Structure 1
Amino acid sequence: MSTPRRVLCLCGSLRQVSSNRAALEAAQRLAPASLELAMYDGLAALPLFNPDNEVDPLPSAVLALREAVGRADALLVACPEYAHGVPGPFKNLLDWLVGSLEFPGKPVLLLNASARGSYHAQEALAEILRTMSAELLTTQPMPVALPGAGCSAGQVLASAERCAELRVALDCLVAELA
């Protein structure tokens, strides 16, 4: 039996109860044996990016982020839209990866967990990731039409439609990482 491919899940929300996090947690539970999905939980601990601080030794939270990205075969990203843009904390995370050796060429799959089909932040995020030399696995984010803030992974898993959407995304990762 081959070793599962490691996928690091990045949630762009700091909310206690986030639909984006719920989508990623549901994906973890639905993942086939060929994938190991790990949740990154250090978003709130990252210091504000300052190029003057991007020297050895890097802040420990930044080192942990870069090491997690380096260990991953791919990234699965679920990020909300705030005022038509990428939330500041998630952009900060990406800024800390710009100068890293671990990120360029990394396969990235985006989930769009909005029932309303938010697209402004998704387009901006895709542009940022392309600029950072990510390998975007699809031209558009994979839709997972969640009702919005306040849903849980259990609620996502209770919906056959949402599970089917997540399985399509997971199948994309399996095909890419095979």
Structure 2
Amino acid sequence: MNTVNILAISGSLRGQSLNSTLLRAVISMIPSQETVVNYSEMAQLPHFNPDLDIDDADTAVANWRRLLKEANGVLICTPEYAKGVPGSLKNALDWVVSSGEFVSKPVAVISASPHPDGGSTANNSLLGTLAMMSASVVEGGTLTVPFINQKLGSNEEIIDSELRLNIENLLNALFQEINNNVVS
């Protein structure tokens, strides 16, 4: 089996984001033989404008599209903001609606929040956007995490055994779907 390339995306630009911390903890659980790129250039993407969506797009947009094309699968971890996904994540997704990098791409989605609903509205919103983009959100590849602030340790590790098991199951589902795509 060849090395699997995963593009990991935090929906938050905030430096101390719990979702970014959770994403790094999830990345640490991915087997070392796999390649993971933790996308960190979302803030460099310009505001989406269809007039600028051309072949020689902005360098940040071109890099974003290249990373998505090269990825065998995508892992998104996002907070909820104003009952939806943060604008920066939605903007990033808008840049690839017409170019099609998400078409049939295996994707897993995590939404985490310090609140009891675990960011379920953002999760549902993101799933709707990904479905419209024809992404392949894997069965067993969605997770909402309530009270995330109580489930992460000071060293960016997951200290909640149930969450750790849920993340392992989500990663297994993502890798299984990627492997199915490689074989077919």
The question of a shared fold, defined as TM-score above 0.5 by the shorter chain, is answered with yes
Equivalent-residue separation in structure 2 for 1:134 and 1:88 (angstroms): 20
TM-score by length of 1: 0.88
| One-letter code aligned to 2:129 | I
Change in CA separation of 1:37 and 1:13 when aligned onto 2, cut-off 3 Å:
same
What SS does structure 2 have at the residue aligned with 1:94? helix
Match of 1:72 in 2: 71
Question: Sequence identity, in percent?
Answer: 33
SS at 1:129 equivalent: helix
Q: State the aligned residue count.
A: 176
111-120 vs 123-132, which deviates more?
A: 111-120
Deviations 1:46-104 (A, max 9, x none): 00000000113200000000000000001100111011111111100000010114221
For the residues of structure 2 that align with 1:152 and 1:104, how far apart are their CA atoms? 36
Alignment of structure 1 residues 84-99 onto 2, 5 Å: 84-99=83-98
Aligned equivalent of 1:59: 58
Measured on the aligned residues, the alpha-carbon RMSD in Å equals 2.2
- Partner Cα distance (1:175, 1:57) in 2: 35
Unmatched segments (≥5 aa) in structure 1: none
The alignment status of 1:136 with 2:137, answered yes or no, reads: yes
How far did residue 153 of structure 1 move?
7.7
CA contact (8 A) 1:143 1:165 kept: no
1:38 deviation in Å?
A: 1.5
Once the two structures are superposed, what CA deviation does each residue of 1:12-55 show, in whole Å capped at 9, x if it has no partner? 00110111111211111111245322201111000000000011
Deviation, structure 1 residue 175: 1.4
What TM-score, normalized to structure 2? 0.86
Q: Which has the higher contact order (CA 8 A, sep 6+)?
A: 1
**Counterpart of 1:166 in structure 2: which amino acid?**
I
Is contact 2:119–2:144 with CA below 8 Å preserved after alignment? no
Show the counterpart of 1:26.
25
Q: Could you list the runs of 5+ residues in structure 2 that have no partner in the other structure?
A: 180-184
2:4 maps to which residue?
5
The runs of at least 4 aligned residues of structure 1 exceeding 4 Å deviation read none
Farther off after superposition, 34-43 or 69-78: 34-43
8 A Cα contact 2:153 2:159, kept in partner: no
SS in structure 2 at match of 1:175: helix
Please report how far the alpha carbon of residue 170 of structure 1 lies from its aligned counterpart in structure 2 after TM superposition.
Answer: 1.2
Cα separation, partners in 2 of 1:153 and 1:55, compared to 1, 3 Å: farther
Is 1:170 the counterpart of 2:165? The answer is: no
